[in-house]
Amino acid sequence: MASIKMENVQKAFGKTIAVDHLNLEINEGEFFTFLGPSGCGKTTTLRMIAGFYYPTKGIVRFSDKDMTRVPPEKRNTGMVFQNYALFPHMTVFENVAFGLRVRKIPSSELKTRVLDALQKVRLESYPNRQVSQLSGGQQQRVALARALVIEPEILLLDEPLSNLDAKLRDEMRGEILRLQRDYKITTIYVTHDQAEALSMSDRIAVFNYGVCHQVGTPAEIYNQPANDFVAGFIGESNLLPVQVKSVQQENVVVTLKNVDHPITIDVPNHAGEGEPILRTDKDLAVSIRPEAIRILDVAEEGVNSFKGKIDSVQFFGSVVTITVAVQNVFLRVDVLNTHEFRHFYQGKEVHVQLPQKRLRLIPIISGD
């Protein structure tokens, strides 16, 4: 097992800066995910760790050892590609054995290790099958066995499930996590699927346009997004543009922009809790998740309670999404499908309450 450190890493392709100012520390044995939209620099970062690309600037370390310009075959990393990159004319056994043959492992040990790896991915009955005769899910397992059989220090997975249908994807998520736990291997997982990232990872790095915007546990990323990009990309979020009225030690009072009658919201002041000092000269928004908002029949004493009208009610099975208009601001509220939701209908006058603890005051960076 190895830890990974990226120190001020940049990768440029001509004038395109694919990755910039990247500082990351990935711990030994961690399941770490690079999450972001297409073209944000996830694969480029993974390839710099694998050694397929060398950084334009900066340092890549494995357990403190400088690996920046070490070629891929000397890195002891196993990689699974999006399209699997298997040899279609070879058998399952030969595909998995490939890396061991390159490393000149004696044939009896090679056989034991290949069969052991095939057993781990539950393909022990298929060693002699041609890869081209396997289903997508089975090919995925061969790719995993091929990466794991060399006993790498680091496992790199580049959108490994994107070619599978939803049900198989679900099943393979579980398989990958099981293998990661069995091998206790430092793993980096690249995906643009936020549900996958939230449900699988120990920690996540969120990328956009070559910049890493936040690193944290799934709960930190979801509950304490660093900016409007993270809040909008992971889960659903209400983002309310605001301006600051006053800043106190514990809280910040803001007013909503774009409303006819002033609305004041009281939000916690997170500055100092590992967060940068609030820049009141920046464009700011209050973010709140849809399930955090309460809908009430009558106004409740206390802060952040506003009068509104139900604009729409959408049924999604386990969750019901209610849109409430507060003046011309539309708030998305998710409630569980319990009998109470029948109580809410289009046109009904209600009150919404935004619990102070669930509010985040964040910079708006989109459009920067």
Going residue by residue from 177 to 196, which x/- string records binding to ligand ATP, judged by CB under 6 A?
---------------x----
Q: Does 208 bind ligand ATP (CB under 6 A)?
A: no
C-alpha gyration radius of the chain: 25
Q: Does 200 bind ligand ATP (CB under 6 A)?
A: no
Shortest Å distance, C-beta 190 to ligand ATP: 6
Q: Does 213 bind ligand ATP (CB under 6 A)?
A: no
Q: Does 44 bind ligand ATP (CB under 6 A)?
A: yes
Shortest Å distance, C-beta 40 to ligand ATP: 4
Shortest Å distance, C-beta 29 to ligand ATP: 24
94 vs 99: CA distance, rounded Å: 9
Interacting residue with ligand ATP among 41, 99, 160, 290 (CB under 6 A): 41
Sequence-distant (≥ 6) Cβ neighbours of residue 301 within 8 angstroms? none
Which residue stretch of 12-20, 63-71, 132-140, 228-236 sits at the interface with ligand ATP (rule: CB under 6 A)?
12-20
Interface with ligand ATP (CB under 6 A), residue total: 12
Shortest Å distance, C-beta 57 to ligand ATP: 15
> Please, what sign has the CA dihedral across residues 45, 75, 193, 88?
positive
Shortest Å distance, C-beta 245 to ligand ATP: 39
203 vs 235: CA distance, rounded Å: 16
> Which CA distances in Å does 178 have to 95, 143, 153, 171?
22, 16, 17, 11
Sequence-distant (≥ 6) Cβ neighbours of residue 353 within 8 angstroms? 293, 294, 295, 296, 300, 302, 304, 305, 306
Q: Does 40 bind ligand ATP (CB under 6 A)?
A: yes
Which residue stretch of 24-32, 41-49, 61-69, 176-184 sits at the interface with ligand ATP (rule: CB under 6 A)?
41-49
Beta strands in 28-101 (DSSP E): 31-35, 57-62, 65-66, 77-80
Of the chain, the end-to-end C-alpha distance in Å amounts to 39
Give the number of C-alpha atoms closer than 13 A to the C-alpha of residue 187, restricted to the C-beta side.
28
Which chain residues interact with ligand ATP by CB under 6 A? Answer: 13, 16, 18, 36, 38-44, 192
